[in-house]
Amino acid sequence: MTRTRILAALLMAPVAIAAVLMLNTPWMAAVSAIVFLAALWEWLRLSDVEDTLARSALLVLNLLLMVAIVWASATGGGSLVLLKMLAMVGVAWWLAAMLWLRHYDFASAPDARSRIVKLMAGTLAVIPAWAALCVIHASEDGGHGNRWLLLALAIVWATDTGAYFAGRRFGRRKLAPRISPNKTVEGLMGGVAAGVLVAVAFAPLAGATVAQLPLVALVAVLTVLASVVGDLFESLLKRHAGAKDSGTLIPGHGGVLDRIDSVLAALPVFAFGKIWLGF
């Protein structure tokens, strides 16, 4: 399984990097929408929407919402204001999700109320993350938006790697034993260290000045913490659904949602931090 996982990652990583660096923002928005909607499809299944027709209808509604957002932004002279506002909505949602994690049994019953709450959560997780991705990639301030987006993703990837190795080597204290028994406080610290190191090392390539590096490091810390919340929240959904993975599309990795759960939470925080602190 480990060999399959590594091979799949080696295939996916260059494709993702090439897409971020080579596609213009409209194409990046379209490609990422496909990926994010694929993750939402799996989210709907974890939310106990088993009927394919119902899931398809909900997916189309979210797609239409994306189209409406693009249309509204275009008719506003290509302004990113709406996308920025949605990214901020994403930050607010993930703050609320932290409270949900503290109350494990909330919406855990297999009933209509729980299903509706999780469906709303899916839209609040996916749409703002997609909007944040577009905002970062567009970088209307004249910066290298594609490089900033790659840096945001690299922070998440470094966090996963650092947390894995630090957790295996030093892990003692459980971070959230009821939600994800394998995660440890030591792993979290390793993830923070790796994420910040990557951010500070590569931010100058995206256009950051030396004076801005402390601000980049601060945003990196918040981005890492958000990515952990996203990972834990998907684990919570899987625990409620009694599922090991969100899907089987990616060999050795599970589903699309399993791969981008951290990204969904990290992108709005990174976008908000970049806008707020002005780098």
Domain residue extents for the chain: 2-277
Q: What is the pLDDT of residue 13?
A: 86
Amino acid at 113: R
Q: Are the beta carbons of 37 and 62 closer than 8 angstroms? A: yes
Alpha-carbon distance of 48 to 121, in angstroms, equals 13
Cβ burial 9-39 (10 Å sphere, 16+ → b, else e) = eeeeeeebeebbeebebeebbeebbebbbbb
Cβ of 278: how many Cβ atoms within 10 Å?
A: 9
Query: Residue 35: what pLDDT?
Result: 96
**Do 233 and 101 meet the contact criterion of CB atoms below 8 Å apart?**
yes
- Reference 95, options 195, 188, 271, 225; nearest CA is 225
List per-residue pLDDT tens for the chain, 279 residues long: 466 667 777 788 899 999 999 999 999 999 999 999 999 999 999 999 989 999 999 999 999 999 999 999 887 666 789 999 999 999 999 999 999 999 999 999 989 999 999 999 999 999 999 999 999 999 755 568 999 999 999 999 999 999 999 999 998 999 999 999 999 999 999 999 999 999 999 999 999 999 999 999 999 999 999 999 999 999 999 999 999 888 777 766 689 999 999 999 999 999 999 999 988
Output b/e per residue, 127-153; b: 16+ Cβ within 10 A.
bbbbbbbbbbbbbeeebbbbbbbbbbb
Q: What is the pLDDT of residue 10?
A: 76
pLDDT at 271: 97
